[in-house]
Structure 1
Amino acid sequence: AWRDRYPSLHLHDPVWYNHMPYLPFPETWPVLCPRDKIADWMEFYARALDLNVQTQSRVMAVHKQDERTWEVRVQITDVDRVVRTKTLRAKHVVFATGNSSHPRTPKIPGVFGGVQLHSSQYRGGRTFGDKRVVVVGSNNSGFDIVQDLWEQGAKSVTMIQRSPSLVVSTESVLKHGLGPLYRQDAPLHHEEADLVATATPYKMLIPRWIQVSNQMKETDSKLHQGLLEAGYCLDFGPDGTGLFAKSATEGGGFYINMGCAELLIRGDVDIKFATVSRFQNDTVVIKDNYTKKEENIQADVVIYATGFDTMDQWVSELCGQNVANKVGRTWGLGLGKRPKDPGPWEGELRNMWKPTTVDGLWFHGGNLAQSRHYSRFLALQLAARYIELCTPVYGVPKPTEPSNLV
C-alpha cells in the first residue's frame, strides 16, 4: 500500500518515535522517513520475523459461525491472476485497518469538464505539470499534494480550506511534543519512553496538552502569523488542547509542516477559506466562509484531500450493521467538544486494544508508535484467552451511538 501512494509521501513523525517492535530502524535513517524506505522496511520486516502475511487479498465478510467462532471469507488473487476464495475460522478477529476505511469524496452539484480524483488515487504531480489544479482539503495529505504539484511545475495550485485546521512546525513537535522522550540522544530507550508517555490517564493529560500547545504556539508564532495573513484559518483544538488532543479525539485535523506552509505564506500557492458550491465546465465555484461571496476558479484538475470514512465503516460493511451498532464508535475519548468525538467521556480511546461489546472482536490502529506499544497488550490479552487464563474485564463500555453516524 505504501508504494501505491504519491512519491513525495513521508512520515511526519520523527524516526525515533516510529520504531517497530523487535527491529528498530537503522541509526543512519533520516529523521522523516520517505515512502519507499518504509515500504522496503515492511517487506523486510515480514520476512525477517517470519510473519504469515497474505497479500493481494480482500476480506469479503466477517460473521459469527457460532458463539465462539468467527468465519472470515477472503478473496485472494494469485500471481497468475486467478481469483479464489478462502474461508478462515478463528475465535478472535482483530480489525487492524488503521483509523480509516473508504475514501470520502464530497458530492458537488454541476458538471466538471476536467479530471477529478481522491488523494488516495494521486500518484504524483508529474502528469499535471501544465495544469491548473484545485486541491480540496487542508490537512497532511492536502499540504503534501499541494507541495508536490508546485514542485512538479503545475500551472497554478489552489488549496480550498473548508474548515479551520492546525499547522505546526516540525521544530515545535520535536522541541515540545515528542523531543523530551523521542530524540537521537534521548535518555530512555523508546520502549521505556512508551511507558512514560502512556502512563498518565487522559483526564490528567488535558492540562499538559494545553501547556504543550501554548509552547508550540510561541515557537510557531511567526509561522502562524504568516498563515493567517495568507488567509489560512487556524484551529488549536478543543479548549486549546492542540495537536495531541486533535489526534486523540478526531484522528486528524492538522498538518506538521514539511515546507508547504511557506508556499502559502509567499503566495506561490493560493489558499481559499471556502466551500465548493458547484461546478460549471472548467470552473470551480466557491463560497467564501467569511463574506459568503462566490468566486470562480478556473481548473483542469480537482483533487479531493478530504479524508476517509472511519474504521467503523469496515465493521458495518463486513460484519453487518447490527454488529457495528453494538460495537459503536472506535477512536476518540468522548470529550464532547467536537462532532467527531461526542460524549460521554470514556477516559480511554474507544474500543481500541481492549475487549468490546462483541466477544472476540478487537480493534488495533493509530500511528506507528501507538501500534508498537499497544500491540503488545492486545497480544497478551489474546494469548491469555488462548491458554484459558482467567482475565477479568473491568467494565466494557456501552457503545456511544450507532457507528453509521459519522
Structure 2
Amino acid sequence: MVSYYDVPRPQAFPDSMAPKTLSPTEVRAIAETWAFKFEAAVTSSDAAAFEDLFAPEGYWRDMVAFTSDFRSIAKDNIRQVAADRLSVAKANSVAVATPAPILDSPFEDVSYIQAHFTFKTSIGGAVGIVKLIPSTTASDYVAYVLFTTLDSVEGVTERVGANRVRGMHNARESYDESRQAEIENPEPEVIIVGGGHNGLEVAARLKMMGVKSLVIDKYKRVGDNWRLRYKSLSLHDPVYSNHLAYMPFPTTWPIWTPSGKLANFIEYYADAMELNVWTESSVVTSETYFDSDQKQWFVTIDRNGKKYTYTVSHLVLATGIGGGHPKLPPPFPGQNIFTKQIVHSANHKNGGSWQGKNALVIGACTSAHDIALDFFQNGANTTMLQRSPTYIMSVKHGVSTVNPYKEGDDTWTVDLLGEATPKLVGRLWHKRFVPRIKELDKELLDGLANAGFQLYDGMEGCGFFLNTNERSGGYYYDTGCSPHIANGDIKIKKGEIDHFTVDTVVLKDGSVLKPDIVVFATGYTGFRDTVKEILGEEYSRNMKEFWGLDREGELRGTCRDCGVPNTYYVVGPLSGARFNSKITALQIVAEKKGLLGPRYTIEVQESGKYSKFTA
C-alpha cells in the first residue's frame, strides 16, 4: 500500500467557488457547520470523515498542532496523515472565533468563505483558518485550504496583558543594579546565537513563556548587524509590516525605515524587553557539544576573552538570512595582478570616497542595486554587470499589491493569514499579481528593457515569491535605482567576467572595463558554513538541507528540525519574525515539557512504518 503520493503542483484555482450573493448570516452558518464536522472527525479520530472535509484540490497546512512538524498536505495524502495522527493530537473543543467568518474574493473569479477557529490538542491550544468552497458532489461546503497551528503549550501562560508579571514596591536594589545582575548571571536554559531581530524576538517569546535565555552576538552593540552595513540601506517593506513581537514601532515612524534607525530601536527593544544579551561574544567551538544521553548542550562562550560554560536544553541560531560567509567567485585569471580594489558587498560602507571614479558592481539583485545607486549618488561613474535576468517591481506598485499588511492592521491576524496558505497554493496568487504589477510598472520596465537590462517574471511566473523561497535572490523592489538604469545614469552590461589585467576587467564578449573598485554582490556561502563555524564539522555534516522548498512546499530547515539535535535555525525578514519566533519558542517549550513527541515528517509517512516512530 502506498503511504505517500508525490502530487503535482497546482496550476489553477478550483472551478467551484462560493457565490458572492451569500449574506453574513449564511456565511457564518456554513462556517459553523464545517467546524462541527471537523470537531466530529478529530474527536473520533475518523480519518475518512476528516478526508471528506476537503475539496479534491484541497490542502491542509499544519504547523506542529497535529504533526509536530511543518507539513502542506495535498488531498491525496490527507487520509493517511489523519489515520496516523488524529489519535495522537487528540484535538477537541473546536469553536469558530474572531475575526468573524467572511466571504472573501481576492480576484473576480475566486471567492471562498474564510473562517478562523480555535481548538485544543494534546500539546496545547491551537488556531485554525479555513477557506471553504462549495462541494462539487454534495450540497455542503468543503475546505480548499485548511491551516492549523499550535498557539500555546499546555500548562504555560504567556506573561502578557492581564497575565503580566506584577513587579514590586520598595525593592532593595535599584532597577539598574538588578538588571545588571541578571545580565551577568543569566542562568540560561536556551542559548541564542545572533542578536538581530530574529534572535531577540525568540528570546522575548521564551521569556514570556517562562524560559530563560542568553543571547550572544559578535558585534560591539546590539543592532550593529544593521548599523554597520552600507549607509544608504533602508528597509524595502513598510513599517506596518515590520513590527517586533510585543513592541510595535511608534505611529510616528517613517514608512521606509533607515537601517540605522532600526538598529537603535532593536537595541532599545533588548533593553525594554529585559533580554539578557552578551555582545562581543562567541561560541567556543572546540568546547561545545551535545550530550545525546543527557539531551543537553554543553556550551562554552568566549565573552571578551573570558570563558563561561553553560548546560542548556536548546540552541537557537539566528545569524542572518545569507548564511555562511561572503561568497566570491573562484579567482579569475589575472585577478591576482589587478591593482584596484575588490570587495564583497558585505564590506561596502558607502560610495562617498569614489566621486569621479569608476565603480563596477557585479550582480543585479537587491544589494547590487542599492550599492550601484549609492555609488551614482556619490558621483561615481557606475556600471552594473548583470549575469542573469532579474525580477523587478516598484515599491510604489508592487509592494502595495503583494504586501498584505495595511496601516492599523492587527498584525498577528495578518501574520496568521499569511501563513494560512500553503506556498504551493500561494503561487497561484502571485501568478495573478505579476501581470497586474507589470502593467502598472510598464513605463519603468520598458525603460529598463530599452537600456539592455534583462527582465523576467520570476520562477514559474511568480515574481519574487518563489525566488525568495527557493534561492533567496533574483529580484529587486525598486526603491530608486531602476530609473537611473533606464535613463543611462547607471550603465548596464550583460555577461560574465573572462579575466582581469593590471587595471581592467575583460568580459567574455571582449568588452573592457576600467574600474577603480569592483564590488561583488554575489551572496553568501550558505547556512551549513555557519553551523560549521559555530558548532563544528560534525554538526555541519549532520545538518539537513536548508532553505528552498521541500516536496510539499515547506521551507527546509528553518524554525523546525534542521538535523542538529535540539537546535533551531531561525532566519527571515522582520515581517516573518513575529510568527517564526513564536512557533520556535512553542516547540522548545513543548519539547522541554515532553509534549512535542516524534515529528511526523514526509519521510516518516512515506516509510509506511509510522508505528515504529510513535512514542
- Both proteins in one fold, TM over 0.5: yes
Any residues of structure 2 matched to 1:101-250 within 5 Å, and which? 101-106=324-329, 107-110=331-334, 111-154=337-380, 156-178=381-403, 181-184=404-407, 188-250=409-471
How far apart, CA to CA, are the structure 2 residues paired with 1:49 and 1:223? Answer: 44
Kept in 2, the 8 Å contact 1:98–1:311? The answer is no
Structure number with larger C-alpha Rg: 2
- Report the counterpart of residue 271 of structure 2 in structure 1: 47
Displacement of 1:318 in angstroms is 3.1
Displacement of 1:217 in angstroms is 1.8
Kept in 1, the 8 Å contact 2:239–2:254? The answer is yes
Letter matched to residue 95 of structure 1: L
Kept in 1, the 8 Å contact 2:229–2:349? The answer is yes
| Higher mean C-alpha displacement, 103-112 vs 58-67 | 58-67
2:576 is aligned with 1:354: no
How far apart, CA to CA, are the structure 1 residues paired with 2:386 and 2:375? Answer: 17
Any residues of structure 2 matched to 1:3-402 within 5 Å, and which? 3-61=227-285, 62-67=288-293, 68-77=295-304, 83-100=305-322, 101-106=324-329, 107-110=331-334, 111-154=337-380, 156-178=381-403, 181-184=404-407, 188-287=409-508, 293-334=509-550, 345-395=551-601
Q: Give me the TM-score of the superposition, normalised by structure 2.
A: 0.58
How far apart, CA to CA, are the structure 1 residues paired with 2:438 and 2:284? Answer: 46
Query: Mind listing any 5+ residue stretches in structure 2 that lack a counterpart?
Result: 1-224, 605-615
| Identical positions, percent | 34
How far apart, CA to CA, are the structure 2 residues paired with 1:232 and 1:60? Answer: 46
Displacement of 1:392 in angstroms is 4.7
SS of alignment partner, residue 519 of structure 2? strand
Displacement of 1:390 in angstroms is 4.5
How far apart, CA to CA, are the structure 2 residues paired with 1:301 and 1:122? Answer: 11
Aligned residues: 373
| Structure 1 residues 126 and 14: alpha-carbon distance in aligned structure 2, compared to 1, 3 A threshold | same
| Structure 1 residues 4 and 358: alpha-carbon distance in aligned structure 2, compared to 1, 3 A threshold | closer
Displacement of 1:65 in angstroms is 3.4
How far apart, CA to CA, are the structure 2 residues paired with 1:90 and 1:194? Answer: 30
How far apart, CA to CA, are the structure 2 residues paired with 1:150 and 1:397? Answer: 51
Letter matched to residue 446 of structure 2: Q
Letter matched to residue 159 of structure 1: M
- Give 4+ residue runs of structure 1 displaced > 4 Å after superposition: none
- Report the counterpart of residue 290 of structure 1 in structure 2: none
Displacement of 1:397 in angstroms is 5.2
Displacement of 1:322 in angstroms is 4.0
Displacement of 1:99 in angstroms is 2.4
How far apart, CA to CA, are the structure 1 residues paired with 2:498 and 2:431? Answer: 36
RMSD: 1.8
| Structure 1 residues 139 and 295: alpha-carbon distance in aligned structure 2, compared to 1, 3 A threshold | same
Letter matched to residue 296 of structure 2: T
Displacement of 1:279 in angstroms is 0.9
Q: Give me the TM-score of the superposition, normalised by structure 1.
A: 0.87
SS of alignment partner, residue 124 of structure 1? coil
1:209-248 CA-to-partner distances (Å, cap 9, x unmatched) read: 2112222222222211111111111132221111112111
